[in-house]
Amino acid sequence: MLARRRHRRAPLLTYVVDPYSAVARDWVPAVRELALVVGDHLPIEVVCTGDRSSLREDSVAAGAGVHALLATERLHPVTVVEDVLRAFADHGADIADPSTIAELAAARRLDRDAVKLVAASDDARAMAREDRELARGLGDPSGASLLYAAGDHLHRLPGPGSTPRELVSAWRTLAPISTTP
C-alpha cells in the first residue's frame, strides 16, 4: 500500500504541482536548483494537483503515475516531476496512461512492470485524490508552488517565474541554521 511519509514537525519542502502545467514545466530548472542546494538536509514531498476548472479524471491518473514513480524511492522527487512534465509538455505523451509512466520508469532503469502496476492501482489513485484535497487546503495553487514548513509555520516561496537565485535566497532566509547547508 502506498503511504505518504509523515515528517512530523521536522522542516519540509512541499512541491505542489500540476503534471499538465506548462508553467510548472518552465519552472522546473529553478526548483531543481533549490533541490540541489537543500540536498539531503530537507525532505521534499510532492503534492499533485490539477486544473481546477476541469478536475479531469486524467489529472488523478497522472498524479497516480507520479506517486508510482515516487514509490520506487530511487529517484529524487524533483526528477520524477520533471520527467512527467517533460513527457507531457515536450513530447505530448499521455501521462494518464500507466504505460507511459512505465516507459519513464524504464528510461531510469526502474522496474517497468512494477511501476505500471502501481500507477494503475487504486492506492495510487487514492493518493492522487488525497493530493487534490491537500492542495485545496493549501490554497490550490495553479501550476506549481513551493511551501516550506517548519514547526507550526508554513511559508510560500516565490512561485513560477522566480529564478533559482530567488528561490534559494527565500529558502535561506526562512530555513533554520541546522537545515541550511
Q: Say yes or no to pLDDT of 181 above 90.
A: no
Evaluate if residue 81 carries a pLDDT over 90: yes
pLDDT given for residue 51 in this prediction: 62
How far the first Cα of the chain sits from its last, in Å, is 34
Label residue 27 exposed, middle or buried (CB < 10 Å: 0-12, 13-18, 19+). Answer: buried
pLDDT tens readout for residues 48-62: 987 644 545 688 999
CA distance 170 to 158: 7
| Pairwise pLDDT comparison (163 vs 39), residue with the higher score | 163
CA angle 4, 153, 29 (to 5 degrees): 65
pTM assigned to the model: 0.88
pLDDT higher than 80, residue 100: yes
pLDDT at 177: 46
Confidence (pLDDT) at 33: 94
- Residue ranges of domains in the chain: 12-179
Question: What separation in angstroms does the CA of 60 have from each of 4, 7, 19, 42?
Answer: 16, 24, 10, 27
Share of residues in the chain with pLDDT > 90 (%)? 66
Question: What CATH number should be reported for the domain whose range is 12-179?
Answer: 3.40.30.10
Residue holding cell 501521462? Answer: 95
pLDDT interval class at 178 (50, 70, 90) = very low
